[in-house]
């Protein structure tokens, strides 16, 4: 028993001694050094971003802010992008030119604003009777969309990145009711992109006006109608005060993708880590914009209707006429524009395949389910 007691005491003393020695070694050992920053050795860079949109449009302008903030955080504050609203450096409809000419390093805009340069620009935003948001994302990220648009924009000193999607848009605000195709004759309508070319075939006089200038044009009667985005943004700009009729659907915008256009010259100068930061930030901003619109638009539409806005559908006659005019416009542009043809031929196959799938899935679900309240 005495021997056992002695061994236990000896073991305890040994353990205690080992622990004390370990503590002593820890106290004497130097503190571990902090892990080196992933941006160590990379330069501090400042870029300017020109937006096509006013600061009041928090959905879109805010997407550029999210993008810039994420790039900054991913680079430990070394890569800063300062945002300028429409008109602060260049007018909203000249953002692509500013990037192309290296006036700014990056722009946040919509490709279809530059339809006049080449109608193929519109595929980077939307074209009439085209893709939904999910379908556009699929074409760009899994199909050939990004590859085709990157190749196209290389001629403009631009590397394009996804910059948000508003999802399906409304048909716009009208000072008077539009019941038939005849009512479109001579209508001065603020509308962007390919849709303007289509509607001009039906007698409409398209007007290309930046977002911040639409309200005064409607108020003064300079234009008879205007489309912008959807209930949330439209309400902010006050269109309901000067045009009581709100039409749907926006058949030319089953979705509306925005983009970050980066100067190819400046892109090539960036360290790989900074390039990866731009790619990552653009995808996050792209996703968040769609989520925000899907969240705020239902509430805004309810407010507009409560305050007397008159919601109207475009007639079947008008939609059929617009579809026929769209087909004719596509056929003509395809014949004379090789760049348009190359993108359109790929896009059309993709669009028709997606339509066949969605007809038996989401559309079939929505046609029944959304007619009933739970």
Note whether 265 and 178 are same-domain residues.
no
Question: What pTM does this model have?
Answer: 0.88
Residue 276 lies in a domain: yes
Note whether 343 and 196 are same-domain residues.
yes
- The tokens 């007691």 sit on which residue? 5
Nearest Cα residue to 177 out of 228, 250, 247, 253 = 247
Going by DSSP bridges, is the β-strand pair 225-226/205-207 parallel, antiparallel, or unpaired? Answer: unpaired
Domain closes at, from 295, 324, 347? 295
What whole-number distance in Å separates Cα of residue 66 and Cα of residue 282? 9
Note whether 179 and 245 are same-domain residues.
yes
- The count of domains in the chain is 2
Q: What are phi and psi of 163, to 5 degrees?
A: -135, 25
Residue 248, class by beta-carbon neighbours within 10 Å (0-12 exposed, 13-18 middle, 19+ buried)?
A: middle
Top-confidence residue, 36 or 263: 263
Residue 296, class by beta-carbon neighbours within 10 Å (0-12 exposed, 13-18 middle, 19+ buried)?
A: middle
> Which pair of structure tokens corresponds to residue 76?
């430990």
Residue range(s) defining the domain that contains residue 248: 172-252+310-359
What whole-number distance in Å separates Cα of residue 328 and Cα of residue 297? 33
CATH number at residue 324: 3.40.190.10
Note whether 320 and 259 are same-domain residues.
no
**pLDDT tens, residue by residue, 93-152:** 999 999 999 999 999 999 999 999 999 999 999 999 999 999 999 999 999 999 999 999
Residue 17 lies in a domain: no
Note whether 199 and 347 are same-domain residues.
yes
Q: What is the pLDDT of residue 3?
A: 37
Note whether 134 and 219 are same-domain residues.
no
Planar angle of CA 300, 296, 258, nearest 5 degrees: 115
Q: What is the pLDDT of residue 20?
A: 38
What is residue 221's three-state secondary structure?
coil
Note whether 287 and 149 are same-domain residues.
yes
């Amino acid at each position: 028993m005495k021997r056992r007691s002695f061994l236990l005491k000896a073991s305890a003393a040994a353990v205690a001694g080992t622990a004390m020695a370990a503590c002593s070694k820890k106290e004497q050992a130097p503190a571990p050094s902090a892990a080196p920053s992933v941006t160590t050795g990379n330069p501090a860079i400042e870029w300017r971003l020109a937006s096509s949109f006013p600061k009041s449009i928090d959905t879109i302008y805010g997407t550029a802010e999210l993008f810039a903030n994420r790039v900054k955080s991913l680079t430990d504050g070394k890569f800063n992008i300062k945002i300028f609203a429409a008109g602060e450096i260049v007018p909203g409809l000249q953002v692509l030119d500013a990037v192309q000419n290296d006036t700014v390093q990056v722009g946040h805009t919509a490709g279809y604003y530059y339809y006049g340069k080449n109608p193929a620009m519109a595929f980077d935003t939307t074209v009439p009777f085209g893709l939904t948001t999910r379908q556009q994302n699929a074409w760009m990220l899994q199909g050939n969309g990004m590859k085709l648009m990157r190749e196209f924009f290389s001629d403009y000193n631009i590397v394009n990145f996804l910059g948000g999607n508003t999802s399906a848009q409304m048909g716009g605000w009208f000072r008077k009711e539009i019941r038939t195709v005849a009512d479109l004759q001579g209508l001065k309508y603020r509308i962007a992109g390919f849709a303007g070319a289509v509607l001009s075939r039906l007698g409409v006089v398209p007007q290309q006006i930046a977002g911040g200038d639409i309200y005064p044009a409607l108020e003064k009667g300079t234009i008879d109608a205007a489309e912008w985005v959807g209930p949330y943004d439209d309400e902010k700009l006050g269109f309901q005060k000067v045009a009581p009729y709100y039409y749907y659907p926006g058949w030319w915008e089953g979705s509306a993708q925005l983009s970050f256009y980066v100067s190819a010259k400046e892109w090539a100068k960036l360290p790989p880590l900074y390039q990866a930061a731009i790619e990552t930030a653009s995808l996050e901003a792209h996703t968040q914009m769609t989520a925000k619109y899907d969240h705020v638009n239902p509430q805004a539409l309810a407010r507009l209707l409560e305050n007397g806005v008159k919601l109207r559908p475009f007639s079947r006659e008008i939609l059929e006429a617009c579809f026929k005019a769209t087909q004719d416009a596509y056929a003509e542009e395809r014949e004379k524009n090789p760049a348009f043809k190359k993108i359109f031929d790929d896009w059309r196959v993709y669009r028709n395949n997606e339509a066949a799938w969605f007809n038996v899935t989401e559309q079939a679900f929505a046609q029944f389910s959304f007619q009933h309240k739970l």
